[in-house]
């Protein structure tokens, strides 16, 4: 199993709206890909900036390619992101899951 981590920052004044976008647009997109094993969105307010981390789990790198395209290290963005994100981080990070508990 592979976990994929993406990080983004939004103005805290837009955090609630961005959270809604993540729940309504991004999570269903992740879940629509056969081989996606789950996704969660983490949020942390830090003054005027709020950080979001999306952590998703996948059966394999090949499955991630179905979601992200051939360059799986490249971050995937939605058109609506331009209204929220302070910058567009170019890459994501992948880790092989070697242990976990339920």
- At 22-73, the pLDDT tens digits run 999 999 999 999 999 999 999 999 999 999 999 999 999 999 999 999 999 9
Q: What residue numbers bound the domain in which 87 lies? A: 2-96
Tokens standing for residue 23: 């729940």
What's the rounded mean pLDDT across residues 72-83? Answer: 96
Residue 66 forms part of a structural domain: yes
State the Cα–Cα distance between residues 75 and 5, nearest whole angstrom: 9
Residue 101 forms part of a structural domain: no
Residue 28 forms part of a structural domain: yes
CATH number at residue 53: 3.30.70.100
Tokens standing for residue 59: 């059966």
- Using pLDDT thresholds of 50, 70 and 90, give the confidence band for residue 77: very high
pTM score, two decimals?
0.92
102 has a pLDDT exceeding 90: no
What's the rounded mean pLDDT across residues 84-93? Answer: 98
Q: Which residues of 13-42 are buried (b: 16+ CB within 10 A; e: fewer)?
A: eebeebbebbeeebbeebeebeebeebebe
């Amino acid at each position: 199993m592979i976990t994929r981590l993406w990080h983004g920052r939004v103005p805290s004044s837009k955090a609630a709206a961005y959270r809604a976008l993540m729940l309504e647009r991004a999570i269903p997109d992740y879940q629509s890909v056969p081989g996606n094993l789950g996704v969660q969105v983490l949020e942390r307010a830090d003054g005027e900036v709020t950080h979001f981390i999306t952590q998703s789990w996948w059966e394999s790198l090949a499955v991630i390619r179905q979601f992200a395209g051939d360059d799986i290290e490249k971050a995937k963005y939605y058109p609506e992101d331009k209204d929220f994100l302070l910058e567009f981080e170019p890459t994501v990070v992948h880790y092989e899951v070697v242990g976990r508990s339920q």
